[in-house]
Structure 1
Amino acid sequence: MGQVTYQAFQVVSGGSIVSPQGFKAGGLHCGLKKAERNDLGVITCEVLANAAAVYTTNVFQAAPLKVTRESLQSGKLQAIVVNSGNANAVTGQQGEQDAYAMRSATAKELGIAEENIAVASTGVIGELLNMERVHAGIKGLPAKIGSGTEEANEFSQAILTTDLVKKEVCVRTLVDGKEVTIAGAAKGSGMIHPNMATMLAFVTCDAEIDQAALQSLLGKSTDATFNMITVDGDTSTNDMLIAMASGLAGNESLHPEHKDWQAFAEAFSYVCEVLAKAIARDGEGATKLVEVNIDGAVSEDSARAIAKTVIGSSLVKSAMFGADANWGRIIAAVGRAGEPVQPDEVDVKLGSILVLSGSRPVYFDEEEALRYLQGDSVQIYVDLHGGSGKATAWGCDLTYDYVRINAAYRT
């Protein structure tokens, strides 16, 4: 596996969710999806791992979230079972019973205590799971579990819905001179507007880390990454981010006062950022990744709110699809974000092309702007000149295909 160095960590080419010590995974097709694609997967750890999670803020929280919250009361997990094709959301008492049944069946097949297993589901809302197929699939999972690239790929495929590509990342860093590996896998393409929501993501690592520190780091990393993406402004009923740490790397327990904490935290946040950007890039029907950078806000929270408003604007997203350098849509979104802005001091750039200076239009080459906006990645820079707050948000363009995909989602 090739490696690329980034500051205090190395990006591992070809790494996967099973690269950290102690983890295995697998997936298969059990029949929840109409197409012959994997729809049931599992991640396991050979030891009881410290674990943390963040969940969707949608008030209609799906049954698997209730089960996972219960399992995570101890701060420990040893396995996560996931299905796609059916969200098991808004399914009442039967849905809860089915989620508990998934946990119980997985425990039986893997020889793991029920309370140490998390459950996740994604797919169509309001339909009961076909539990006959789920049980048959869970019985087949042990034979599919392994620590190789193939097994990791089968898991990554099993969690996808309308996604066009799987989303994976792996990095390595040093803690107490020991090599520590952090990896992630995610799904997400539509219903993307987190606070924490709109996707399933799983992070594994082999560091020894205090559980409270892991939960805090997960929350902070989420705020700066997953909570800064949007595709369509809809927050899902199901989605969650779970992190598991096996502790098998042999380092001293990590916490914020540890000498290598910053290096580990940077590597962990990088994993979250790569997965978040991959979800934004793979937005339903999208043709390009759009990045919005806000600088000069009165605070970081204010910058984040403005960045999310701009990236979530249907007019901005439509302009990006049409490669239209219509900076008026950007400035309008900035102005309606409900945050303090000096209306006479704002600069806007599309990539390196300055289109607004001191809130006054400036001449720019329209052909140059067109060529830039026709690329598969666009960066928007807004400087408010009002403070030190800054933030970055990611999203995608709004295309004809987004409507087509969602007009026929159940069919």
Structure 2
Amino acid sequence: MKRIEGGVTAPKGFLAAGLNAGIKNSDKKDMAMIYSQVPCRGAGVFTTNVVKAAPVKWDKLAVDTSDYVQAVVVNSGIANACTGEEGYGCCVAMASEAGRQLDLPTQAVLVASTGVIGKQLPMDKITAGIGLLAQALGEDREHSRLAAEAIMTTDTRSKEVAVETEIGGRTVTVGGMCKGSGMIHPNMATMLCFVTTDAAISHEMLQKALSGDVEDTFNMISVDGDTSTNDSVLLMANGMAENPEITAPGPGYENFCAALHEVMVELSKKIAGDGEGCTCLFEVTVTGARTKSDARILSKSVICSSLTKAAVFGHDANWGRILCALGYSGVDFDPGQVDIWFESSAGRLKIVENGVDTGYSEEKATEILSQEEVRAVCDMKQGEESATAWGCDLTYDYVRINGDYRS
């Protein structure tokens, strides 16, 4: 497997477009489209928030019941959440218009929205935008970039990745793009992710691969502890790599899962590292846990600690906050056995051994915590399981951004 330049248009047969349709009343791009030249198997994982946006309801129905999917149309600026029957009708109308423009059945079009909750979509602008997107579709690198830019809200940068692997003697490509900066605390079943692949794989195995992978990727990130009404990860596979179809576990399925995982991890880290107002990506790895579940719970407890996130922002090695966050996670352990390290490009420093201060250098700790990517490693000394979670520091700018998000 190797990393390649690209995003959703990297796999064979996928086209994309992104443009300004005037939804945001600015010059920023606000609509995107992904289209496959042939029908796709589709899979999806969605928010567990009881308050679900209209596109989440539509996409779940389409993924579960449609014979195939072939396109996604996305708008940013308005979430189409808490919009009642009118909002759901707008969602269906988006799928219908995209289907008309692309000569597809309505149920073959997935829909996604992100932005302010509670506002109705300006369907005149949406409809016109869909027509322009259909005409602007292309398969080169620039089209992928434009689509990734068009789904951004408070993101400071677009997020894309692509990899190649070999399955059955054929080169298979997986590409993806995502958006997310605030209201990020997925419990997947305002974060959107779209993954494309030219792998030939059954619907059942595609859904199995996606559902399994989110447990160690998008379910392990947090910016602010808020699970969005719109969280969705959509995966489309068009089979154009012409590998032997993956219909059961085996080497081909394992290779596909490894490539998917590489894409999902990188996109997860890009979201966490672009948290609203943040200055660094904060990664927490828990080792030596009794069970995988324990490791996930412990690492995410630390990544979600506001006090720990604030300490990272201040470049303060306040390790007591980490141990405290481990302690209230609900996982039972002996605090007197825990070791903790801080790591970054500036080095590695053991700050806690068997639950007590090591007498470390505060100056070195500050240097380590002053980098753009910071990692804490916690060894629980209870077993063999481990897990990693990703988040960011908590800054003054987070409050500023969210204090006037609508205005």
Alpha-carbon distance in structure 2 between the residues aligned to 1:43 and 1:92: 26
Q: Does residue 84 of structure 2 align to residue 96 of structure 1?
A: no
Q: Is the contact made by 2:8 and 2:196 (CA closer than 8 Å) also made in structure 1?
A: yes
Q: Is the contact made by 1:197 and 1:236 (CA closer than 8 Å) also made in structure 2?
A: no
Q: Identify the residue that residue 15 of structure 1 maps to in structure 2.
A: 6
Which residue of 162, 166, 169 maps to 1:177?
A: 169
What are the residue-to-residue correspondences of 1:257-296 with 2, within 5 Å?
Answer: 257-296=249-288
Alpha-carbon distance in structure 2 between the residues aligned to 1:86 and 1:271: 27
What are the residue-to-residue correspondences of 1:49-88 with 2, within 5 Å?
Answer: 49-72=40-63, 73-74=65-66, 76-88=68-80
Alpha-carbon distance in structure 2 between the residues aligned to 1:132 and 1:184: 29
Q: Identify the residue that residue 348 of structure 1 maps to in structure 2.
A: 340
Distance 1:306 1:211, change over 3 A: same
What are the residue-to-residue correspondences of 1:155-234 with 2, within 5 Å?
Answer: 155-196=147-188, 198-234=190-226
Name the amino acid aligned to 2:138: G
Q: Identify the residue that residue 374 of structure 1 maps to in structure 2.
A: 370
> After TM superposition, which residue ranges in structure 1, 4 or more long, deviate above 4 angstroms?
none
Q: Does residue 330 of structure 2 align to residue 335 of structure 1?
A: no
Q: TM-score, normalised by structure 1?
A: 0.96
What are the residue-to-residue correspondences of 1:134-153 with 2, within 5 Å?
Answer: 134-153=126-145
Distance 1:75 1:321, change over 3 A: farther
Alpha-carbon distance in structure 2 between the residues aligned to 1:267 and 1:35: 37
Q: TM-score, normalised by structure 2?
A: 0.97
Q: Is the contact made by 1:197 and 1:240 (CA closer than 8 Å) also made in structure 2?
A: no
C-alpha deviations, 1:150-193, integer Å up to 9, x for none?
21111111110000010000000111110111000000000000
Q: In terms of mean alpha carbon deviation, does 110-119 or 317-326 score higher? A: 110-119
Q: Does residue 305 of structure 2 align to residue 313 of structure 1?
A: yes
Q: In terms of mean alpha carbon deviation, does 330-339 or 61-70 score higher? A: 61-70
Aligned pair count reads 402
Q: Does residue 124 of structure 2 align to residue 129 of structure 1?
A: no
Q: Identify the residue that residue 36 of structure 2 maps to in structure 1.
A: 45
Distance 1:368 1:196, change over 3 A: same
**1:259 shift after superposition:** 2.6
Alpha-carbon distance in structure 1 between the residues aligned to 2:255 and 2:273: 27
Describe the SS at the equivalent of 2:36. Answer: strand
Q: Which runs of 5+ in 2 are unaligned?
A: none
Q: Is the contact made by 2:56 and 2:112 (CA closer than 8 Å) also made in structure 1?
A: yes
Q: Does residue 20 of structure 2 align to residue 29 of structure 1?
A: yes
Alpha-carbon distance in structure 2 between the residues aligned to 1:175 and 1:137: 38
Which residue of 360, 366, 380 maps to 2:356?
A: 360
Alpha-carbon distance in structure 2 between the residues aligned to 1:117 and 1:349: 47
Alpha-carbon distance in structure 2 between the residues aligned to 1:350 and 1:67: 44
**1:75 shift after superposition:** 5.8
Name the amino acid aligned to 1:34: N
Q: Is the contact made by 2:200 and 2:240 (CA closer than 8 Å) also made in structure 1?
A: yes
Q: Which runs of 5+ in 1 are unaligned?
A: 1-8
Instruction: Report the identity percentage.
Output: 45
Alpha-carbon distance in structure 2 between the residues aligned to 1:401 and 1:336: 28
Q: Is the contact made by 2:79 and 2:190 (CA closer than 8 Å) also made in structure 1?
A: no
Q: Does residue 389 of structure 2 align to residue 398 of structure 1?
A: no
**1:81 shift after superposition:** 0.6
Q: Is the contact made by 1:49 and 1:244 (CA closer than 8 Å) also made in structure 2?
A: yes
C-alpha deviations, 1:238-279, integer Å up to 9, x for none?
120000011011111114433332222111101000000000
**1:294 shift after superposition:** 0.3
Distance 1:74 1:142, change over 3 A: closer
